[in-house]
Amino acid sequence: MKNTKLFFNGIKDGFQEPGHTLASTVNFFLLTLVFILGIGIVSLLSKIVKKRYLPLKSENKNSYWEKVDIGGEKKKEEYLKPF
Amino acid sequence: MIILGISAFFHDSSACIIKDGKLIAAVEEERFTRKKHDSSFPINAIQYCLKEAGIKGKDLDAVAFYEKPLLKFERVLSQFLDSFPKGLLAFNKTIPSWINEKLRIRSIIKKKIKFYGDVFFIEHHLAHAASSYLLSPYKHAVLLTVDGVGEWASATAGYAKENTLVLEKQIKFPHSLGLLYSTITGYLGMSVNNSEYKTMGLAAYGNPTYYDQLKKIVDIKEDGSFALDMSYFVYQHKMKMPSTKFIQEFGPEKRKNEEMTQKHKDMAASVQKITEETLFKILHSLHKEYKSDNLCMAGGVALNSLANGKILKNTPFKSLFIQPAAGDGGTSVGAAAFTYFSILKKKREYVLNDAYLGPGYTNEEIEKFLKEKEITYTPFKDKKDLTKKVAKLIYENQVIGWFQGRMEFGPRALGARSILSNPCNPKMQEILNVKVKHREKFRPFAPVVCLEDAQEYFECDKEIPLAADYMLLVYPIKEKYRKLLPAITHIDGTGRLQTVRKGQNELYYQVIKEFGKLSNIPLLINTSFNIRGEPIVCTPEDAYRCMMGTGIDYLVLNNFLIKREDNKKDMWDSEEFADD
Ligand SMILES: [Fe+2]
């Protein structure tokens, strides 16, 4: 019984590293696919309509402060949202 | 009412507990896992906090998390959308942790701490601001937070009155003073999000000769608001920071083991000058706008003690508060405090008195450990005898590992897990470096002084801000003492002092005073109790191990004195572990 357990544990340990490699490879390909199809398509469409997601180029204005409303007297429910 | 605060999954994960309006425990996860800046879910820190409160996870009234993860995810996706087709590697590296952890905060909390109640998500910079204001003695203040980046903001400003905090404006990512400082830190061959304080130390050796050149890539307006020329940076889509254009204009990055040249020092001085200029401009404008003389700061840039020490002299503010964990580690406290005082509107009476919020050990626990490990030690029944003995040892140039009471919260050792030594010995910097710290030659050691003696030795502000208790202000050392205090005088004549008040840490206070009786100078070197690359020690075992692996001569564990030479066993060489 003990030997059988050891045998299977050995197999399990032996497969662990190639298992990890396989999982990372699959993950890499899936994520690459998401990157190309998901991010890529949205990004290309955005470029066509000239939409930018980051304010990379700042217009030369008097102040770079941007108005926000963080904190203050908001309802409790506002803070229960993760967004 | 008990609130648990959590900060996790970026860097410096931490947890804290606010019980009936009082911060009773706060600690970074790295101290338990021994992994510097550990960003994993802070389960050890949480368990410690719950133990301190005498409860289980299910008994909590609420949990507060230090950011709004979906807003941050929106920013991360925006970075990839904006830079496509660049960013594939960063995408592959970043996204799995979002799927597995960062977007599953509620379920992780349920699973790991069995808490099924309200989880509050507090915006990152609001948590920063609250960590300062809600622990401060003020009833109103101007708020300024500056860091690398939170969800979208890299800096915010606003005001606070009673229990209400309002942030009215922000500088939006990718424009970031913190990331500019980090870019230069990385450019100088040091680790980003870790070694920024080294850049600050290096600045004193240089002249800001790159100031004009750097100014071209940072546009600073009269109100201090700023924007970066992003053609000089690639951190918005890569795992590195300066762009090819930056390298072309400023020359190649310094490699890790390359010698520090005058150019590197000048770069450090230049970015420090830009940081100070920006901060002072912002503060001038905020003072005018919000009309309060009290200033609360937080965020990684608020750890810039060189700039902090100049704030009251260079701006109209009369009072300044920064809590000891001003970086992301402190946001767990901000989130919990905001939830308790601002959302749940509980009465605000608490003021942070000291940073000793981490694990502590009783004399019985320590003696048990010493006996179990067969360590030779001397117990001291009378605390006065102990402080006199330690002061004498320091006076005789011995290096002391000082482990007393509860561990400090925040990145600085403040007399609970410190290494103490003689600041008057011109060779002490070298001795400490050879024996323990293995740190860069350009980095000075910091002094500790009792509050009432600080004005005698330093050119401090008239009213020394509470932030000095947390080693967050650099002041010039008075000219006449510089030669007498060679080990703590930086090349520019300054020192990053810690002030100690009498009720804060009795034994620490007494050792400093006793040393003063022997040397006529009541100051000590206080440096963190760790070797380079490791977090500050937490347990008696960590402390003993650190002493035995280094050249620390004596270890004081509460009331017990241990001499390294009496315990030759278990030697190991800390040098092989020393890291950046
Ligand atoms: Fe932050």
pLDDT at B240 over 90: no
β-sheet bridge partners, residue B169: A67, B157
Segment B286-292 shows an average pLDDT of 95
d(CA B369, CA B373): 6
Residue of A70, A76, A80 to mutate, interface with B, max B Cβ within 10 Å: A70
Percentage of the residues of chain B whose pLDDT score is greater than 90: 84
User: How far is residue A39 from each of residues B97, B172, B524, measured CA to CA in Å?
Assistant: 18, 22, 56
pLDDT band at B159 (very low <50, low <70, confident <90, very high): very high
A48: contact with B, CB 8 A cutoff: no
Residue of B84, B93, B175, B177 to mutate, interface with A, max A Cβ within 10 Å: B84
Percentage of the residues of chain B whose pLDDT score is greater than 70: 98
Burial class (CB in 10 A: 0-12, 13-18, 19+), A36: middle
The alpha carbon torsion through B241, B244, B248, B250 (nearest 10 deg) reads 0
User: Above 0.85 for ipTM, yes or no?
Assistant: yes
Per residue in A11-52, pLDDT (tens digit) is 667 767 767 777 778 888 888 998 988 889 988 998 888 888
pLDDT at position B531: 83
List of residues 6+ apart from B407 with CB closer than 8 A: B27, B31, B356, B357, B358, B359, B360, B416, B417, B536, B538
Q: Residue B366: which of B531, B511, B543 has the closest Cα?
A: B543
Q: Give the closest-approach CA distance of B574 to chain A in angstroms.
A: 31
Does this model's pTM top 0.90? My answer is: yes
Q: Residue B269: which of B306, B220, B240 has the closest Cα?
A: B306
- Sign of the Cα torsion B509, B513, B515, B521 reads positive
Per residue in B524-567, pLDDT (tens digit) is 999 999 987 889 999 999 999 999 988 899 999 999 999 999 98
pLDDT band at B257 (very low <50, low <70, confident <90, very high): confident
What element of type H or E holds B496? strand B494-500
d(CA B97, CA B118): 24
pLDDT at position A4: 74
Q: Using an 8 Å CB-CB cutoff, list chain A residues near B344.
A: 76
Residue for token digits 């890539």? B217
pLDDT at B90 over 90: no
pLDDT at position B237: 81
Q: How does the average pLDDT of chain B come out, rounded?
A: 93
d(CA B253, CA B247): 7
- Sign of the Cα torsion B411, B414, B415, B420 reads positive
Residue for token digits 């910097």? B429
Per residue in B359-390, pLDDT (tens digit) is 999 999 999 999 999 999 999 999 999 999 99
Q: Is B494 within 8 Å of B205 (Cβ atoms)?
A: no
pLDDT band at B570 (very low <50, low <70, confident <90, very high): low
**Structure token pair of residue B363:** 């004399």
Kindly list the structural domains of chain B, giving each domain's residue range(s) and its CATH number in brackets, ordered by start: 2-135+323-343 (3.30.420.40), 172-320 (3.30.420.40), 363-567 (3.90.870.20)
d(CA B528, CA B543): 11
Q: Give the closest-approach CA distance of A65 to chain B in angstroms.
A: 5
A53: contact with B, CB 8 A cutoff: yes
d(CA B455, CA B519): 18
Burial class (CB in 10 A: 0-12, 13-18, 19+), B191: middle
Q: Test B121 with A43 for CB contact under 8 angstroms.
A: no
Least confident of B58-62, B342-346, B527-531: B527-531
B126: contact with A, CB 8 A cutoff: yes
